[in-house]
Structure formats: C-alpha cells, structure tokens
Amino acid sequence: MALGDLTRQIAKEALLSAASPAPKEQPAPASAPAENLSATIFTQIQAMQKALKEDEELVVWFSSGAERIRVMEIFLPSRQIAVLTGPDSERSLARVISPVAALQLVCKVAKVPAGAKPVRVNLVTPKS
C-alpha cells in the first residue's frame, strides 16, 4: 500500500468516526453504601472468638502512646463511636472513647493456664 493510500484510509476512518453518533454516556455507578465499620469490627471479633478452642482466649489490646489496655468490653453507643473498657498495665480500670474509624486493635489467641476459665470480649450495642 502506498503512502497516499494509507493517508486516505486514515482520513476516511477519521471522518466516519466523527460522523457516527457519539455513544451514550453510561450513568455514573451508584455510590456504594457507607461501610458500617463498627459492625465489621464486631463481626471480626465474634468470628475470632467463635473459632477458639476451650483452652484458648482472644486477647485484644488497644495502645495509644505509652498507654495500653487489654480490652474486655467494646460498647458502641453509635455507629461512629466505640467505648473500650479494660485494665491498663497497672490493673486500673481504663476506658477509651474513640471514633470507630480511628481504632486500631491488636487481637491474638492465647492459651489459658490450666484450671483457669477463658475470658471472652463482651460486645455491647445500644438497645433499640
């Protein structure tokens, strides 16, 4: 094919594509519903606790700076706020009030000493 023929072919295709009707715009996808982070955290902790053996417990830690508490209860007064309760390193009762989106919890499975009863994290939601 000569250079002139190639140029004519490209020009013809350009004219045809310009003359054809533009494809209809696809509607924007509907935004996904906002993820319920508090429900996701509850679901994950419940699943981890459900998978435990009789001689195991789930240890959940929350750290902020030098403070570290072992979380024994998570209360969700709303979808956006979590209240964590548990002993700190000095065995004093401590509470953390935090936006759910900012929570970073460390969860690990630990063996329970012989004769001791495994502890479960208490998950509390407000009564409807």
Kindly report the pTM of this predicted structure: 0.69
Model pLDDT, residue 127: 78
Residue 63 placed within a domain: yes
Model pLDDT, residue 27: 61
Range of the domain at 105: 54-124
Contacts of 62 (CB under 8 A, 6+ apart): 68, 69, 71, 84, 86, 96, 103, 104, 105, 106
Model pLDDT, residue 35: 72
Residue 119 placed within a domain: yes
Model pLDDT, residue 7: 65
Residue 113 placed within a domain: yes
Residue 5 placed within a domain: no
- Give me the tens of pLDDT residue by residue for the chain, a chain 128 residues long: 566 666 667 666 766 666 666 556 666 566 555 678 889 999 999 999 999 999 999 999 999 988 999 999 999 999 899 999 999 999 999 999 999 999 999 999 999 998 899 999 999 988 76
Residue 44 placed within a domain: no
- In which order are the strands placed within the sheet that holds 105-111? 67-70, 56-64, 105-111
Model pLDDT, residue 18: 62
Q: How many domains does the chain have?
A: 1
Residue 81 placed within a domain: yes
Report the largest interatomic distance among the alpha carbons of the chain, rounded to a whole angstrom. Answer: 92
Residue 98 placed within a domain: yes
